[in-house]
Structure 1
């Protein structure tokens, strides 16, 4: 698996749940996001959003978030902006029946704040080094799309408040 997503093997995915059952398929979906062609990656990202991000979060959500941050920071991932948007979706979601899952998922998203700040401030990538899914002329560049998504997520992290995370806000503010 290489260094990207290499730590997935340390998670007991079969013991975790997502919206449709066992989270044992999550590593394969993350791998398809990392290395799949455009249709495969898009489908995998959509599946993952349905499984762990909306409407409630699950115990597998917090375990997945560090790998989403890893994908967002990896230049060769086709839809890094989509990964950042999924992180924002997770931050906005919750599970009133399981506030600890909500808190863990939100804390995991907030823990990647430095990555969002770096991606939001990243300079434009020259066309020669852009990922192979560069849009047609006239559309936003992949680098600009990532910067925009990272900036939105950074704003969401900084403004985040929810009942489950109310006790975490002062400590998170000190860490910034």
Structure 2
């Protein structure tokens, strides 16, 4: 992945892999702080090219029992699904598809041992089921 060629809310996404690693391997505080940073970069305000690239990694983190902030990761996946990028509808559509494509994973997480993960997963499944699909982001022919 060429993260340095991708953009997030504040510019180059070159730092995203390091933040993903802190979420994956950090203790509860480090993971939570890294997740807060990542949310600002790729999902809380709008979705970006870096969001599309990060979503598969977020799904991997959501199912990894060693990750201390899995409920937060699932919440970020829901934020991605709920936010857009009207000037870049193709990016929005790709980001939403990346979340929607793993509904079965979210459904599995509703049976997780961790109560917070179960609750976050239920909220995500509900958001996925309520999502309007392709009509969420009309892409004009030739749009970037």
TM-score by length of 2: 0.91
| TM-fit CA distance, 1:121 | 2.4
Matched, 1:62 2:33: no
Deviation at 1:165, TM superposition (A): 6.3
- Contact between 1:106 and 1:165, CA under 8 Å: does it hold in 2? no
1:159 aligned to 2:138?
no
Tell me the number of residue pairs that the alignment of Structure 1 and Structure 2 aligns: 137
Structure-to-structure mapping, 1:1-176, within 5 angstroms = 11-122=1-112, 124=113, 143-161=114-132, 163-164=136-137
Which of these two proteins has the greater Rg computed from alpha carbons?
1
User: Is the Cα–Cα contact under 8 Å of residues 18 and 59 in structure 1 kept in the other structure?
Assistant: yes
RMSD across aligned positions (CA): 1.3
Change (3 A) 1:154 1:83: same
Cα distance in 1 for residues equivalent to 2:47 and 2:57: 16
Taking the aligned partners of 1:87 and 1:54, their CA distance within structure 2 comes to 10
Unaligned 5+ runs, structure 1 = 1-10, 125-142, 167-176
Question: Take 2:138 and 2:17, find their aligned partners in 1: how far apart are those partners?
Answer: 27
Runs of 4 or more consecutive aligned structure 1 residues displaced over 6 Å after TM superposition? none
- What is the rounded CA distance, in whole Å, between the counterparts of 1:32 and 1:145 in structure 2? 20
Look up the SS of the partner of 1:78 in the other structure. Answer: coil
- CA change 1:165–1:157 in 2 (3 A) is farther
| Contact kept? 2:93, 2:136, Cα under 8 Å | no
- DSSP-derived class of the 1:24 partner: coil
Contact 1:45 1:83 in 2 (8 A): yes
